Amino acid sequence: MTATVPANARSSLASFYDSVIGKKVVMAVTGLILFGFVVVHMLGNLQIYLGPQAINRYAELLRVSPGLLWGARLVLLGAVGLHILTALQLAKRKMDARPQGYQKYTPTTSSYASRTMLWSGPILAAFIVYHLLHLTVGSVHGDFREMQVYHNVVSGFRVIPVSIAYIVAMAALGIHMHHGVWSLFQSLGVAHPRYTPLLKKFAAAAAVVVVAGNISIPVSVMLGILK
Amino acid sequence: MKLTLHVWRQRSSQDSGRMVRYELADVNPDMSFLEMLDVLNEQLLSKGEEPVAFDHDCREGICGSCGFVINGVAHGPQRGTTVCQLHMRHYHDGDELYLEPWRAAAFPVVKDLVVDRGALDRIIAAGGFISVQTGAAPDGNAIPVPKGNADMAMDAAQCIGCGACVAACPNASASLFTAAKVSHLNLLPQGQPEKADRVLKMVVQANEELFGSCTNIGECTSVCPKGIPLEMIARMNRDYLSAALVRR
Ligand code: HEM
Ligand code: FES
């Protein structure tokens, strides 16, 4: 016995991540960060209803400190990256764990959302890339003006296929959150007959609020309410 | 009643296997599902064909030997029962039934509907026990156990290790089984000395057996003949997290 750092310190971290539960903890923690982000982001987006000055000022506010902006971006990028990497590893494990499937498989009680995380997730991944190119970088936006958020959003959503793509992506987000936002608690070991039903309701409500809030914007542009 | 069966036939683990169709003319609604298969096997034997192999022992829902997937549901349509306790009165004349073995990399098919569930035994061997000096029986109430813990430990201990949770899980995860076996002992005073070690070793063993990772879908609980709740998995995750984070 020596008093040095145990030789298995690193390997125990590796075996934690290697285990079926460790990966779920990574999914849950990164998922929680992304959940927090989508709620705050939606609240930010809704400021568009306060007019061009309000939302443009909000955009400037976010950029007051480059250090803070890039810090937040790095955390989010790290969370998305880890979330996707772990999801891919879980997907591979799922395929390896049942190489031969059933000719008939009938779900009994599970939710549609829980069985389609590997569909809703990749749709979100594609959406995140498109969304950044569309409204942050502007490279796929026909009439992008630096720091003129109101203009970029309204002119962007006047293109009907773009609005539809956003609405479809938000539906996927709602489905993903409907399962993910309560599942993350279960993964982290929080479950109780008293609280789990409430957590499921909370997840459903959060999904509806975030999706409805975001979808209202392209819908309002298409209806001419925002112009 | 008249039934059409599509049964997975596979001669050995080497054989690739296929679904074979059988017609059964006179099924008595009072028969259990396994008795119905006994009748099918009598007919096959009288024709000189190989009978359908399936696992069974107690036929009263307590040993955990039986089990296969009927029309895509582990142990069939009745909740809270093993297939030996399922009766033909739940079916109707002309029904078509698909019988398939538990499907998981960790459960290789031995023959027809029989799979090797040794992987579950190895998870138990990794930590599903307590180390005690055996000898004279201790006084029954020498170690007090809080009622809530005793109840929940009993709920967990009901698991008969049939493997339906693995079969029903889209991830082929053995989390409900492992969680029941971990919690059963981790909830009791006798299980405390090895609590952290137990959960770490059993989870690692489940990993090594190539079972999948739980994504909280809940099919396991739904088909479990003993109704072990999903909450057991959260309890295992909790024990695993604290054991993994504080281990020296
Ligand atoms: C970017 C592409 C994404 C992919 C490929 C993806 C994929 C997945 C997968 C496969 C799971 C595990 C399935 C399960 O636990 O049932 C999962 C869980 C989860 N995801 Fe995502 N996801 C993505 C984006 C997001 C986003 C943007 C959010 C934010 C709302 C999010 C939040 C969650 C949460 C909270 C969980 C639950 C974690 C847990 O069960 O412990 N995901 N995701
Ligand atoms: S044969 Fe024992 S549980 Fe079915």
CATH of the domain at B234: 1.10.1060.10
Give how far B128 is from chain A: nearest CA, Å.
18
Among the candidates B63, B90, B110, a domain finishes at B110
Residue B148 lies in domain: 117-247
What's the confidence (pLDDT) of residue A5? 41
CATH number assigned to the domain comprising residue B73: 3.10.20.30
Q: Which chain A positions have a beta carbon within 8 Å of B229's beta carbon?
A: 193
Q: Is A106 within 8 Å of B241 when comparing Cβ atoms? A: no
pTM attached to this predicted model: 0.90
**Would you state the structure tokens that stand for residue A65, as one six-digit string?**
């400190």
Interface contact flag, B241 A98, Cβ < 8 Å:
no
A117–B215 CB contact, under 8 Å: yes
Counted across chains A and B, CB pairs separated by less than 8 A come out at 144
Contact status of B238 with chain A (Cβ, < 8 Å): yes
Q: Assign B115 to helix, strand or coil.
A: strand
Whether residue B149 sits in one domain with residue B48: no
Question: Would you state the pLDDT for residue A9?
Answer: 45
Q: Does B236 touch chain A (CB under 8 A)?
A: yes
CB A217 within 8 A of CB A170: no
DSSP character at residue A137: I
Q: What is the 3-state secondary structure (H, E, C) of B176-217?
A: HHHHHHHHHHHCCHHHCCCHHHHHHHHHHHHHHCCCCCCCCC
Q: Is the CB of A174 under 6 A from ligand 1?
A: no
Q: What is the pLDDT of residues A145-190, one digit of tens each?
A: 998 999 999 999 999 999 999 999 999 999 999 999 999 999 999 9
Task: Let me know the angle formed at the C-alpha of A114 by B7 and B242, rounded to the nearest 5 degrees.
Answer: 110
- Going from the Cα of A97 to the center of ligand 1, the distance in angstroms, rounded, reads 20
3-state secondary structure of B84: helix
- Scanning the structure block, which residue is given the tokens 């389609």? A116
Give contacts of B204 with chain A, Cβ < 8 Å.
Answer: 15, 19
| Residue B97 near chain A (CB below 8 Å) | no
What pLDDT does residue B245 have?
83
Q: Ligand 1 in contact with A83 (CB < 6 A)? A: yes
The domain boundary, picked from B110, B144, B165, lies at: B110
Residues 150-189 of A with CB under 8 A from B: 179, 182-183, 185-189
Map tokens 């599509």 to a residue: B6
The verdict on B55 and B125 lying in the same domain is no
- Closest residue to B215, CB basis, from A107, A114, A188: A114
User: For residues A207 and A181, is the Cβ–Cβ distance under 8 A?
Assistant: yes
Q: Is B237 in the A-facing interface, judged by CB distances under 8 Å? A: yes
Q: How much is the pLDDT for A2?
A: 37
Residue B41 shares a structural domain with residue B134? no
Helix axis angle, A66-97 to A20-46, nearest 10°? 140
CA-to-CA separations, B163 to A9, A80, A173, in angstroms, rounded = 34, 35, 34
Our CA dihedral for A29, B198, B107, A88, rounded to 10 degrees, sits at 20
Residues B128 and B72 occupy one common structural domain: no
pLDDT at A67 over 80: yes
The reply to whether B102 and B121 lie within a common domain is no
A96 contact B CB<8A: yes
- Map out the domains of chain A with their CATH numbers: 21-222 (1.20.1300)
| Cα distance between residue A133 and residue A137, in whole Å | 5
The answer to whether residues B147 and B187 belong to one domain is yes
pLDDT at residue A1 greater than cutoff 60: no
Residue A154: partners with Cβ closer than 8 Å, 6 or more residues away: A221, A226, A227
CB distance B59 to ligand 2 below 6 Å? yes
The answer on B167 and B78 residing in a single domain is: no
* Each residue's pLDDT expressed in tens, for chain B with a length of 248 residues: 999 999 999 999 999 999 999 999 989 999 999 999 999 999 999 999 999 999 999 999 999 999 999 999 999 999 999 999 999 999 999 999 999 999 999 999 999 999 999 999 999 999 999 998 788 887 878 889 999 999 999 999 999 999 999 999 999 999 999 999 999 999 999 999 999 999 999 999 999 999 999 999 999 999 999 999 999 999 999 999 999 887 76
Q: Residue A4's pLDDT band (boundaries 50, 70, 90)? A: very low
Chain B residues 161-190 with CB within 8 Å of chain A: 168, 170-173, 175
Pair (B105, B184) in one structural domain: no
Banded pLDDT at A11 (limits 50, 70, 90): low
The DSSP secondary structure of B217-242, one letter per residue, reads: --HHHHH-TT---THHHHHHHHHHHH
* The total number of structural domains that make up chain B: 2
Indicate whether B171 and B210 sit together in one domain.
yes
Q: Are residues B91 and B136 located together in one domain of the fold?
A: no
B213/A20 touch (CB, cutoff 8 Å), yes or no: yes
Q: What is the ipTM of this complex?
A: 0.90
Which of A170, A176, A183, A190 is the pocket-test mutation for ligand 1 (most atoms within 8 Å of CB)?
A176
Same domain, B121 and B243: yes
pLDDT tens profile A74-92: 999 999 999 999 999 999 9
Domain boundary among B61, B82, B110: B110
Residues B123 and B218 both lie in one domain:
yes
Ligand 2 contacts CB of residue B61 (under 6 A) = yes
